[in-house]
């Protein structure tokens, strides 16, 4: 029987006393400021990103960072193209895709109080309810190869 690989065995060794990053990068320029050449994990979210504990992706990113991972954030990408997904390059481990608090681009905000349908949907025109799937497909099409179908 095979033994399980320890969860954090893929981490690069951080120097003793390493401090948390001042911010989690959202662009290649911000990665350069931090002195990073890659991210271990890139979180893609349909929400706006603010590095504050009232934002879910900030909490998740900081928890992962506390475990030694280099975490980048791609917030509110245009899922119609791969350009936004290329901003931080290919992560060493994986992309994590979430629709965010209200779904990608507010897809769940079309309901009114107690499940009543709103007369005028507040979702921007042309946004697909399946944007999470489209975002994942864009990532796969940009970063997967025939020999490695997963982008990690």
Note whether 91 and 145 are within 8 A (CB): no
The pLDDT, as a whole number, for residue 29 is 96
What average pLDDT does this structure show over 50-76? 90
**Interval 88-114: pLDDT, tens:** 999 999 999 887 665 554 444 444 555
What proportion of the chain, given as a percentage, has pLDDT over 90? 30
Note whether 81 and 142 are within 8 A (CB): no
Provide the residue ranges of all domains of the chain, joining segments of one domain with +: 28-109+129-143
What's the chain's average pLDDT?
A: 74
Contacts of 32 (CB under 8 A, 6+ apart): none
Q: What pTM was estimated for this model as a whole?
A: 0.70
Q: How many CB atoms lie within 10 A of CB 99?
A: 21
Could you give the 3-state DSSP secondary structure of residue 117? Answer: strand
Task: Order the strands of the 71-75 sheet from edge to edge.
Answer: 71-75, 41-45, 94-98
Nearest to 93 by CA among 143, 29, 147, 24: 143
The first and second tokens of residue 22, run together, are 């001042």
Q: Which of 30-39, 50-59, 128-137 has the lowest mean pLDDT?
A: 128-137
DSSP 2-52: PPPPPTTTTPPPPPTTPPPPSS--SSHHHHHHHT-S--SEEEEESS---SS
Q: How many CB atoms lie within 10 A of CB 151?
A: 19
């Amino acid at each position: 029987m095979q033994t399980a690989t320890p969860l954090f065995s893929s981490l690069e060794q951080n120097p003793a006393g390493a401090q948390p990053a001042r911010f989690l990068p959202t662009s290649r320029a911000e990665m350069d400021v931090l002195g990073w050449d890659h991210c271990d994990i890139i979180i893609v979210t349909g929400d706006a990103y603010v590095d504050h504990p009232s934002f879910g992706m900030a909490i998740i990113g900081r928890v992962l960072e506390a475990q030694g991972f280099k975490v980048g954030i791609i917030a509110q990408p245009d899922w119609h193209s791969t350009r936004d997904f290329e901003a931080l390059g290919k992560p060493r481990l994986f992309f994590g895709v979430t629709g965010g608090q209200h779904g990608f681009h507010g897809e769940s905000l079309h309901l009114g109080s107690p499940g009543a349908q709103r007369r005028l949907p507040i979702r921007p025109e042309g946004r697909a309810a399946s944007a999470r799937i489209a975002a994942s497909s864009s990532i796969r099409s940009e970063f997967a190869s025939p020999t490695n179908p997963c982008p990690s």
